[in-house]
Amino acid sequence: MHDNAAMLLPSELKHHIGTFCTPRSLASLAQVHTSYREEAERVLYKKIYLYIWKHSGEMRCLDTLSSNSEKAAFVHSLTVEFPSNWNKNRDESVRAVVALSSALCLMSALSDLRVRLPNGQLDDPSPERITDSLRHQHSQLRTLCCNDYLDIPAIVENQRQLQVLGIYSNGRFLPDLLKRLEAMPFSLPTVFAMERNSALPTFNHLEIFPALPTNNFKACEAIAEAIHVDVSRQMILETTRVVQMSIWLKDFSEITFIRDIAFCFNIPVEL
C-alpha cells in the first residue's frame, strides 16, 4: 500500500483492521508503517497477559508500560502472574513489582486487573507497593482479582466503581479480611475467593459471600462472567474442576441463591 493511501484510511478502519491481527503482526505493523502505529498499539495493548519471569519478554513489556505513559494509557485489561516461589529471586521479584506499580499509576483506562503475586514473606514490600498504586485512583476499576494479603479494604474504599472483587487465597488471611470488609460502612462489590487444595495448577475451591452487603442483585452472573473472561494460564479457575464450594449466607431465607449458583455455574445442587 502506498504511503498516501495508507494515510487516507480513517483511524476507525485502521483500528478494525488491527482486531484481525495477531499480537506479533500488530507489533510489526506498528514498526513498519508510522500511519498505523497508534491504532496498532491501541489494539495490541488493550488486553495484556504477562507471566513475569526474569529475563523474559514479558518483563521487557512491563518495563515499557512503566516508562511509557502513552502505551500504558491504551491498557483496559491487565492480567499478571508471578511464579509462586519467585521470592527466592528477591532482587528480580522486587524490581518486577516496582515496575508493575509504576505501570499501574499510568494506566488511566484500566478497568479489569488481575494480579497474582508470589507467595509473600513477612518483610516483602510487594503488597504495600501494589496497594498504594491502586488506592490512589489512577484508574477506575470494574473488576479486580488479587492476593488476600493486600490491603483490600483500603483499595475497595478508593475504588468505588469496583463491581467484582476476586480474591486469590491460601486460607490464612481470608477470615480476618472478610471481617474487615463486612465492617465497611458502604455497599461492597460482589466478592468471591479462589483457593487451591491440590497439587494441580488450578483453583478448585470457590467461595462466595452473599452475606456481605452489596447492591448487585445478580452476583452469580457477575462472578460467572469474571471467571469466563479470565485469561490466566499458570493458575486457572475452571468451574468443571471445582470440587468444593463454600457459600456464606446470612440465613436460610437466601437459599434461592444456591439455585442461582447451580444455574450460572452449571453445578448440580440438591436442596
Q: What is the pLDDT of residue 219?
A: 76
The pLDDT of residue 166: 95
Q: Are residues 187 and 71 in the same domain?
A: no
Rounded-to-5 percentages of helix, strand, coil across the chain: 45, 15, 40
Question: What integer pLDDT is reported at residue 4 of this predicted model?
Answer: 56
134 and 115 in a single domain? The answer is yes
Do 119 and 163 share a domain, yes or no?
A: no
Mean pLDDT within 37-44: 83
3-state SS record for 149-188: CCCHHHHHHHCCCCCEEEEECCCCCHHHHHHHHHCCCCCE
| Domain coverage including residue 164 | 141-270
The mean pLDDT of 222-227, rounded to a whole number, is 86
| pLDDT of amino acid 269 | 44
Q: What is the pLDDT at residue 28?
A: 76
* Nearest Cα to Cα of residue 140 among 99, 102, 193, 104: 104
According to the model, what pLDDT value does residue 141 have? 95
- Residue 271 confidence (pLDDT): 38
**H runs (alpha helix) in 107-246:** 126-135, 152-158, 174-182, 219-228
Whether residue 185 is found in the same domain as residue 239: yes
pLDDT in tens, 118-172: 766 556 777 889 999 998 878 899 999 999 989 999 999 999 899 999 999 988 8
Residues 61 and 132 in one domain: yes
Residue 165 located in a structural domain: yes
pLDDT of residue 265: 65
Distances from the Cα of 116 to the Cαs of 8, 37, 85, 90, 234, in angstroms? 43, 31, 12, 16, 10
pLDDT of 5 reads: 55
pLDDT given at position 230: 86
Contact 102, 63 (CB under 8 A): no
CA atoms within 13 A on the CB side of 39: 19
Helix (H) or strand (E) holding 98, with range, is: helix 90-106
Select the more confidently predicted residue: 239 or 161.
161
pLDDT band, residue 270 (cuts 50/70/90): very low
- Shared domain for 122 and 185, answered yes or no, is no
Return the higher-pLDDT residue of 233 and 3: 233
Lowest-pLDDT range of 24-38, 164-178, 185-199, 202-216: 24-38
- Domain-located, residue 23: no
More confident residue, 34 or 161: 161
